[in-house]
Structure 1
Amino acid sequence: MNLRAPAKVNLYLKVVGKRPDGYHELLTVMVPIRLFDEIVLEKADTGISVRAPGCGCNERNNLAFKAAELFLKETGVRAGVSIRISKRIPPGAGLGGGSSDASSVIMGMNELFKTGLSRTELMKMAGKIGADCPFFFLGRPYLMGGRGDVPLHEVTLEPRSYFIVTPPLEISTAKVYSHLKCPLTRERKSYKIINEVAKKGIAPEQWLENDLEKPAFGICPELERVRSELLDAGALGVIMSGSGSSVLGIFQNEEHLCSGMSRIRRHEGYRYVPTTSLTGGSHGDYRGKGVSSQG
């Protein structure tokens, strides 16, 4: 079985407060984009094998392995699975590649082994792997709450072209959060974003906000330089995705994007990816759809 696991970007990320369980309460607008990891799933008699060159971790620490292990345990399927991943999404870059791989493995195994679990059941299972994982079952832009794992509202975005710049570095999410000064409550702002996204259509560049930018820029000042370079290239707005290190520029359309790409300064080792958002309803909609990349 061949799957494509899409990356995501966060257009809006507000840290509402600290939860009793130690996690942070978030409100975030997450958008699946046309940048994919390629995954091949095959049944095996026993065991789990994962081959994922370039993932930056060993087999058992790979979220795809953990997802397969959890799926077999919770469903009681007595078989194994072979997983091959061709990485296109940079690891540790705030684009959700590992979480997307894990979610795609769970969705794919549900189909491969004909276990018939509902999307709700699969999302609950995926939430045990990582906070981002449930989002990838939705297949469209969504406002997420909780740890980033609770769907609140579907978001309708005006069409835009995106340009993602990823420096050759990984930023520890834990380190970024440790540098964050988190207020006790933000109830009024929280309700404002919930009410606004329920309306029909929002311009992405008008909602760009990320509470993790300031601490991340303090840890890696070069991210602020990337932000300035995207603005100088004509982006309507710029935001860091998640806890970094990818920085996203928003352009009006493909023509505007091409103009910006010709103007931006290039750096050795950086990745530059022009893309758009996805609107498919399930992982199956991602199959056979490409992405153009440059860098």
Structure 2
Amino acid sequence: MEGEYRLAAPAKLNLSLRVVGRRPDGFHELEGVMVLLELADELRLAPADGNLGLRVEPGGSGAPSDLGHNLAWKGLVAGLGEVSHDVSLALTKRVPVAAGLGGGSSDAAAAWRLGRRAAGLPDRPSDDELTDLARIGADVPFFAAQAAVAQVSGIGERVAAMQLAPDTGHEVVLTLAPFGLSTAEVFAELREDEWGSAGLAANDLLAPARRVRPEIDELVRLVLAAGAEPRLSGSGPTLFALLPDAARADAVAGHLDRAGVSALRTRLRTEPASIETVAASRKEPT
């Protein structure tokens, strides 16, 4: 390949997440609505002059930098079929890790798209490719499908673009917990009588997440005290609130900051990210 490809890997929120069953292979069947955020990682795919590898910045982000465990690298391998010896992938992390925001899955989907572009292949997945991508992670198909808002079902492989209600607030306050949560641990705590119990605008994983990490109860209390409605994204522990305008969102974030809670401001994204091509620099003749 010549030049460099760049692509943002946005975080996501689960506006709703319902567990509706379990498959014979043990995976849970889900349905819900997912949206993209402006908060995003960035990936860059470039020629490597024979130095095959992955670079994760900053070093203390919590994302694995070894090829066998990094989801971005798995996505790149899936996109290319096999990684050429002259390809290097750089990942700049901004999305918190193990937070329920889909950062690793978004990285995988973005790397898949970059790999497809580098290989001269379409970067919009077919239904079969969405099923394959779901094996990397349940959220990967949503990010790869390039919909800013979508109804997602199955184990994540069925993605249907949709529109939000006109009165949906686009200003977002994220309440970041000082700990991560394992998705597997939260699902292991989920009881069958809790499947589908949360309603259309909530998250069936909130109750099991609170049992795994009772500290979430205090975060919920603080968001309510700030005058906002707390909702859980994914398996947590991040809580989010949708606000109608920037002034209201700033006020909620300020209240949380004064209470000693880490709050992050962002917005709902209205369009999926597009791949940017950076031409290779030419060397001057000597």
Q: Per the shorter chain, which TM-score range?
A: 0.7 to 0.9
In the TM superposition, residue 263 of structure 1 has moved relative to its aligned partner by: 2.1
Q: Which residue of 1 aligns with 2:237?
A: 245
1:163 is matched by which residue type in structure 2? V
Q: Distance in 2 between matches of 1:166 and 1:123?
A: 30
Is residue 180 of structure 2 the alignment partner of residue 170 of structure 1? yes
Q: Distance in 2 between matches of 1:101 and 1:285?
A: 13
Matching residue within 139, 146, 151 for 1:132: 139
Matching residue within 260, 265, 272 for 1:274: 265
Q: Kindly indicate whether the alpha-carbon contact (under 8 Å) linking 1:5 and 1:286 is maintained by their aligned counterparts in 2.
A: no
In the TM superposition, residue 265 of structure 1 has moved relative to its aligned partner by: 4.6
In the TM superposition, residue 118 of structure 1 has moved relative to its aligned partner by: 4.3
Q: Which residue of 2 aligns with 1:283?
A: 273
Q: How many residues align?
A: 265
Q: Distance in 2 between matches of 1:64 and 1:47?
A: 17
Q: Percent identity?
A: 31
- Structure 1 residues 38-57: aligned runs within 5 Å: 38-44=42-48, 48-52=52-56, 53=59, 54-57=61-64
Give the TM-score of the pair, scaled to structure 1.
0.81
Q: Kindly indicate whether the alpha-carbon contact (under 8 Å) linking 1:92 and 1:171 is maintained by their aligned counterparts in 2.
A: yes
Q: Which residue of 2 aligns with 1:88?
A: 94
Is residue 212 of structure 2 the alignment partner of residue 219 of structure 1? yes
Q: Which moved more, 1:46-55 or 1:159-168?
A: 46-55
Is residue 261 of structure 2 the alignment partner of residue 261 of structure 1? no
Q: Distance in 2 between matches of 1:245 and 1:72?
A: 33
Equivalent position SS for 1:142: strand
Equivalent position SS for 2:274: helix
Q: Which residue of 2 aligns with 1:11?
A: 15
Q: Which moved more, 1:30-39 or 1:256-265?
A: 256-265
Q: Which residue of 1 aligns with 2:73?
A: 65
Q: Kindly indicate whether the alpha-carbon contact (under 8 Å) linking 2:35 and 2:268 is maintained by their aligned counterparts in 1.
A: yes
Q: Distance in 2 between matches of 1:175 and 1:91?
A: 16
Q: Kindly indicate whether the alpha-carbon contact (under 8 Å) linking 1:18 and 1:24 is maintained by their aligned counterparts in 2.
A: yes
Q: Which moved more, 1:131-140 or 1:36-45?
A: 36-45
Equivalent position SS for 2:13: strand
Q: Distance in 2 between matches of 1:51 and 1:267?
A: 36
1:210-231 per-residue CA deviation (whole Å, 9 max, x = no partner) reads 1111111111112121111111
Q: Distance in 1 between matches of 2:160 and 2:121?
A: 27
Q: Kindly indicate whether the alpha-carbon contact (under 8 Å) linking 2:195 and 2:204 is maintained by their aligned counterparts in 1.
A: no
Q: Which residue of 1 aligns with 2:112?
A: 106
Equivalent position SS for 1:244: coil
Q: Kindly indicate whether the alpha-carbon contact (under 8 Å) linking 2:35 and 2:149 is maintained by their aligned counterparts in 1.
A: yes
Q: Distance in 2 between matches of 1:127 and 1:70?
A: 11
Q: Kindly indicate whether the alpha-carbon contact (under 8 Å) linking 2:47 and 2:87 is maintained by their aligned counterparts in 1.
A: yes
Q: Kindly indicate whether the alpha-carbon contact (under 8 Å) linking 1:4 and 1:286 is maintained by their aligned counterparts in 2.
A: no
Q: Which residue of 2 aligns with 1:202?
A: none
Q: Which moved more, 1:122-131 or 1:139-148?
A: 122-131
Cα gap change, 1:271/1:37 in structure 2, threshold over 3 Å: closer, same or farther?
farther
Equivalent position SS for 1:20: coil
Q: Distance in 2 between matches of 1:150 and 1:50?
A: 30
Q: Distance in 2 between matches of 1:150 and 1:286?
A: 27
Q: Distance in 2 between matches of 1:3 and 1:285?
A: 5
In the TM superposition, residue 55 of structure 1 has moved relative to its aligned partner by: 3.4
Cα gap change, 1:77/1:228 in structure 2, threshold over 3 Å: closer, same or farther?
closer
Equivalent position SS for 1:102: helix
In the TM superposition, residue 79 of structure 1 has moved relative to its aligned partner by: 4.7
Q: Distance in 2 between matches of 1:13 and 1:116?
A: 30
In the TM superposition, residue 77 of structure 1 has moved relative to its aligned partner by: 7.0
Q: Distance in 2 between matches of 1:125 and 1:44?
A: 27
1:250-273 per-residue CA deviation (whole Å, 9 max, x = no partner) reads 2221121122222225466x5421
Give the TM-score of the pair, scaled to structure 2.
0.83
- Larger helix proportion, structure 1 or 2? 1
Q: Give ranges in structure 2 of 5+ residues lacking alignment.
A: 278-286
Cα gap change, 1:117/1:233 in structure 2, threshold over 3 Å: closer, same or farther?
closer
